[in-house]
Amino acid sequence: MVILASTGRPVYRKGMPQVPHNALPPSMHPKAVGARLKLLREAANLTAAALCRALGINRGSYSVFEQGKRAVPEHVKVQLVDFYGTTLDYLVLGRTTEAELNAIIDRLSRETIGEE
Protein backbone atom coordinates (compact mmCIF):
# COMPACT_ATOMS: atom_id res chain seq x y z
CA MET A 1 0.00 0.00 0.00
CA VAL A 2 1.19 3.49 -0.88
CA ILE A 3 -0.24 6.74 0.47
CA LEU A 4 -0.54 9.43 -2.19
CA ALA A 5 1.00 12.67 -0.98
CA SER A 6 -1.41 14.74 -3.08
CA THR A 7 -4.60 13.25 -1.63
CA GLY A 8 -3.54 11.28 1.41
CA ARG A 9 -5.61 8.33 0.10
CA PRO A 10 -4.27 4.79 0.02
CA VAL A 11 -3.54 3.23 -3.36
CA TYR A 12 -3.34 -0.54 -3.67
CA ARG A 13 -3.20 -1.60 -7.30
CA LYS A 14 -2.63 0.06 -10.63
CA GLY A 15 -3.05 3.52 -9.18
CA MET A 16 -6.72 3.01 -8.25
CA PRO A 17 -7.78 4.41 -4.86
CA GLN A 18 -9.69 1.82 -2.81
CA VAL A 19 -12.83 2.56 -0.82
CA PRO A 20 -12.45 1.33 2.76
CA HIS A 21 -14.98 -1.37 3.66
CA ASN A 22 -16.42 0.79 6.44
CA ALA A 23 -17.35 3.45 3.84
CA LEU A 24 -19.55 1.02 1.87
CA PRO A 25 -23.30 0.71 2.36
CA PRO A 26 -24.00 -2.34 4.59
CA SER A 27 -25.46 -4.31 1.66
CA MET A 28 -22.16 -3.98 -0.24
CA HIS A 29 -19.90 -5.00 2.64
CA PRO A 30 -17.91 -8.16 1.83
CA LYS A 31 -19.67 -10.02 4.69
CA ALA A 32 -23.09 -9.28 3.14
CA VAL A 33 -21.90 -10.32 -0.33
CA GLY A 34 -20.34 -13.45 1.18
CA ALA A 35 -23.64 -14.37 2.84
CA ARG A 36 -25.41 -14.09 -0.53
CA LEU A 37 -22.71 -16.24 -2.16
CA LYS A 38 -23.21 -18.91 0.49
CA LEU A 39 -26.99 -18.79 0.10
CA LEU A 40 -26.72 -19.27 -3.67
CA ARG A 41 -24.17 -22.08 -3.37
CA GLU A 42 -26.22 -23.95 -0.79
CA ALA A 43 -29.42 -23.47 -2.80
CA ALA A 44 -27.62 -25.11 -5.73
CA ASN A 45 -26.62 -28.02 -3.45
CA LEU A 46 -22.96 -27.44 -4.22
CA THR A 47 -19.92 -27.79 -2.06
CA ALA A 48 -17.49 -24.90 -2.27
CA ALA A 49 -14.96 -27.28 -3.84
CA ALA A 50 -17.41 -28.32 -6.58
CA LEU A 51 -18.27 -24.69 -7.35
CA CYS A 52 -14.60 -23.75 -7.54
CA ARG A 53 -13.89 -26.63 -9.92
CA ALA A 54 -16.84 -25.66 -12.13
CA LEU A 55 -15.69 -22.04 -12.36
CA GLY A 56 -11.93 -22.57 -12.27
CA ILE A 57 -11.62 -20.47 -9.10
CA ASN A 58 -8.99 -21.16 -6.44
CA ARG A 59 -10.69 -22.78 -3.43
CA GLY A 60 -8.74 -20.73 -0.89
CA SER A 61 -9.61 -17.46 -2.62
CA TYR A 62 -13.30 -18.37 -2.85
CA SER A 63 -13.38 -19.26 0.83
CA VAL A 64 -12.31 -15.76 1.87
CA PHE A 65 -14.95 -14.24 -0.44
CA GLU A 66 -17.73 -16.34 1.06
CA GLN A 67 -16.53 -15.59 4.59
CA GLY A 68 -16.55 -11.88 3.79
CA LYS A 69 -12.87 -11.45 4.54
CA ARG A 70 -12.10 -10.05 1.07
CA ALA A 71 -14.11 -8.30 -1.61
CA VAL A 72 -14.93 -10.39 -4.69
CA PRO A 73 -13.04 -9.20 -7.80
CA GLU A 74 -15.23 -7.95 -10.66
CA HIS A 75 -14.35 -10.79 -13.05
CA VAL A 76 -15.33 -13.37 -10.42
CA LYS A 77 -18.63 -11.55 -9.75
CA VAL A 78 -19.44 -11.83 -13.45
CA GLN A 79 -18.61 -15.56 -13.44
CA LEU A 80 -20.83 -16.10 -10.40
CA VAL A 81 -23.88 -14.23 -11.69
CA ASP A 82 -23.62 -16.05 -15.02
CA PHE A 83 -23.30 -19.39 -13.26
CA TYR A 84 -26.21 -18.82 -10.88
CA GLY A 85 -28.40 -16.93 -13.36
CA THR A 86 -28.83 -13.96 -11.06
CA THR A 87 -27.89 -10.29 -11.35
CA LEU A 88 -25.06 -8.10 -10.16
CA ASP A 89 -27.72 -6.00 -8.45
CA TYR A 90 -28.55 -8.96 -6.25
CA LEU A 91 -25.01 -10.19 -5.68
CA VAL A 92 -23.41 -6.83 -4.96
CA LEU A 93 -26.27 -4.75 -3.54
CA GLY A 94 -28.75 -7.34 -2.34
CA ARG A 95 -31.43 -5.69 -4.49
CA THR A 96 -34.20 -8.11 -5.25
CA THR A 97 -37.74 -8.77 -4.23
CA GLU A 98 -38.60 -11.71 -2.01
CA ALA A 99 -40.44 -13.31 -4.95
CA GLU A 100 -37.40 -12.95 -7.25
CA LEU A 101 -35.08 -14.37 -4.61
CA ASN A 102 -37.42 -17.31 -3.97
CA ALA A 103 -37.60 -17.98 -7.72
CA ILE A 104 -33.78 -18.02 -7.97
CA ILE A 105 -33.47 -20.35 -4.97
CA ASP A 106 -36.23 -22.66 -6.27
CA ARG A 107 -34.61 -22.85 -9.71
CA LEU A 108 -31.17 -23.57 -8.26
CA SER A 109 -32.51 -26.25 -5.94
CA ARG A 110 -34.25 -28.00 -8.88
CA GLU A 111 -31.27 -27.89 -11.22
CA THR A 112 -28.77 -30.68 -10.96
CA ILE A 113 -25.29 -29.26 -10.97
CA GLY A 114 -23.39 -32.42 -10.25
CA GLU A 115 -19.83 -33.02 -9.33
CA GLU A 116 -17.69 -34.54 -12.03
Average pLDDT across each block of 10 residues of the chain; the chain has 116 residues. List them in order.
48 52 76 95 93 94 94 93 92 90 88 54
> What was the pLDDT predicted at 28?
86
Residue 113 identity: I
Structural domain 22-110, CATH architecture:
Orthogonal Bundle (1.10)
> What was the pLDDT predicted at 6?
52
Residue 40 identity: L
2 vs 104: CA distance, rounded Å: 42
